[in-house]
Structure 1
Amino acid sequence: MDFHLHHAPEGLTKRARYFVLAHGIKADVPRVSRHREQWLALGIPSAEIDRVTAYQEHWGGLVLPPAPHYDGGPKYLDTDVPEGSPAEGWWFEAGPQRTAVPYSFMIGPGGEFGIHGDRWTPLHQTVEGWVESVALAHHASMWAKQITKVTGDDVDALALDTFEPVKEVTGLADTWWRGSDSLVAVYAGEAECLSAPRCRTALVYSGLGEWGLYGGVMDGGR
């Protein structure tokens, strides 16, 4: 069963909290605690089970509108048994795919949100960063007078020297940049994960006013 949200998860900007409350819903997902003894028997450290439990309690069941890349991102946020080893670190599922994509959405050893296919590719330093990026894409698409898509090697031609990074998305493979009248989202995660440079994509949201550039995160934004 799905429920409308009355409270957004903590740690988000005003813009992202509004986006989650206005457009998100909460789905029923199982509690992790019922798997604890089984996972311990599999050799999964207790600290990793605690990490999965915390993720499920904070984010589990959150359903957001589709992201503009990665075929929409996870259908909803949910988790499963951790994968990995003490030497390599541990990953766990962030949520099931909406469509058949050649990677899984995962949470990394340091809490990064990313994709795991041919290799592990962290997209954002935090889950909050992913949610912020989806919220910012929705916001920018509402305010932009023009949206331009750039792919492959043409992404290198974008002149971003005078732009500043949008810090709230905590970008790693994927980054957002703010200029004088535009926002630019650069999606390099698929290219890195699949060793496919042609998959690099940038979306340029131009013709933004002050609210389009900063709306919802001014005055600290939190």
Structure 2
Amino acid sequence: MSLNQVDAPEELTRRARFFVSAHALRFTSCDVDQSRKRWLGLGIPATEIDRVTAYARRWGGLALPPAPRYDGGPRILNPDIPERTPAEGWLFEAGEPRTAVAYSFMIGPQGEFGLYGYRWAPLHSSVEGWVESLALAYHASTHAKSITKVTGQDVDALPLAGYETVPEVAGLADNWWRGSDSLVAVYRGEAECMSAPHCRVAYVYSGLEGAIMYA
């Protein structure tokens, strides 16, 4: 695959645009138009193929740094053939995983970014939210004085009174909270996808007094 310069979408925050421009790579993406006729012949609706096309044009070929969870997330954002699920409707692959995991990274019917394994678990309500979460994790891990990992049922006991959610991550199963000098990231995706409550994980990034304004 050939390598191209990365232009970060304007809809992202300044933090996320810097993260993408500084740390991501862009490779040539798949050409959905070459598959359109074959996919139509398989009974895939044209509207679903249009969704894949739009995703490929906006995000296709983007290689981001690894995520803190989900074995790093997709290796490269690159779509594949849509598939119809019994409960959720049409999903399509967001990109191949970096390692062997028990689920796929998928784009949902409303553009959600999530996991599909035992069941569908949308992590963020948009791909932008996933990218924002990666940028925020990079920011927090770079500037925090300490990082505390919380697992299982202790995640639900985190004292988040006084914190506010970070809206740009568009959180669903996963979300971020901002305090006066700390950030908290909660990852429930694997727990919901695999019906495994013990897989709940949170990270508390403390000591962000000087950097929290940029988060």
Taking structure 1 as the reference length, what is the TM-score of the superposition?
Answer: 0.93
Name whichever of 66-75 and 3-12 sits farther off: 3-12
CA distance in 1: counterparts of 2:101 and 2:89, whole angstroms: 24
Structure 2: tracts of 5 or more residues without a match = none
The residue that corresponds to 2:128 in the other structure is: 128
The 1:148–1:88 alpha-carbon spacing in structure 2 relative to 1, beyond 3 Å, is closer
User: Residues of 2 paired with 1:157 and 1:177: CA distance?
Assistant: 14
| Amino acid in structure 1 at the alignment position of 2:212 | L
Q: For 2:17, give the aligned amino acid.
A: R
Distance 1:51 1:87 in 2: 19
Secondary structure at the counterpart of residue 43 of structure 1:
coil
CA separation of 1:213 and 1:2: change in aligned 2, threshold 3 A: farther
For residues 131-170 of structure 1, what are the structure 2 equivalents within 5 Å? 131-170=131-170
Structure with bigger RCO (C-alpha 8 Å, 6+ apart): 1
Shift of 1:89: 2.1
Q: Secondary structure at the match of 2:52?
A: helix
Could you tell me which amino acid in structure 2 is paired with residue 37 of structure 1?
K
8 Å CA contact retained: 2:6, 2:20:
no
Aligned length: 215
Partner of 1:203: 203
Counterparts in 2 of 1:25-174, with a 5 A limit?
25-84=25-84, 88-174=88-174
C-alpha distance 85-189 of structure 1, shift in aligned 2 (>3 A): closer
Is 1:147–1:205's contact at 8 Å kept on the other side of the alignment? yes
Determine the structure 2 residue equivalent to 1:177.
Answer: 177
CA distance 1:78–1:178, change in 2 (3 Å): same
Q: Is the 8 A contact 1:4 1:24 kept in 2?
A: no
Relative to structure 1, the CA distance from residue 88 to residue 80 in structure 2 (aligned partners, 3 Å threshold; closer, same or farther) is same
Relative distance call for 1:87 and 1:196 in structure 2 (3 A) is closer
2: CA distance, partners of 1:66 / 1:199: 19
Residue identity matched to 1:151: T
Structure 2 CA distance for aligned equivalents of residues 41 and 2 of structure 1: 30
The Cα of 1:29 is off from its aligned counterpart by 2.0
Report the AA paired with residue 166 of structure 1: V
Determine if contact 2:91/2:109 at 8 Å carries over to the other structure: yes
Unpaired segments ≥5 residues, structure 1: 218-222
Q: How far does the alpha carbon of each residue in 1:86-124 deviate from its partner, in whole angstroms, 9 at most, with x for none?
A: 984210000000011100000000100000000000000
How far the C-alpha of 1:137 sits from its partner, in A, is: 0.1
Q: TM-score scaled by structure 2?
A: 0.96
Contact 2:88 2:120 in 1 (8 A): no
> d(CA) in 2 for partners of 1:87 and 1:199?
23
Structure 1 residue 6 displacement after superposition: 4.3
Deviations 1:116-142 (A, max 9, x none): 000000000000000000000000011
SS, match of residue 16 in structure 1: helix
Tell me which moved more, 86-95 or 33-42.
86-95
Aligned sequence identity (%): 65
Work out the CA distance in 1 between the residues paired with 2:5 and 2:112: 24
Whether the 8 Å CA contact 2:4–2:28 is kept in 1: the answer is: no
- Name the SS for the 2:175 alignment partner: strand
Structure 1 residue identity aligned to 2:171: G
Q: Distance in 1 between matches of 2:85 and 2:199?
A: 30
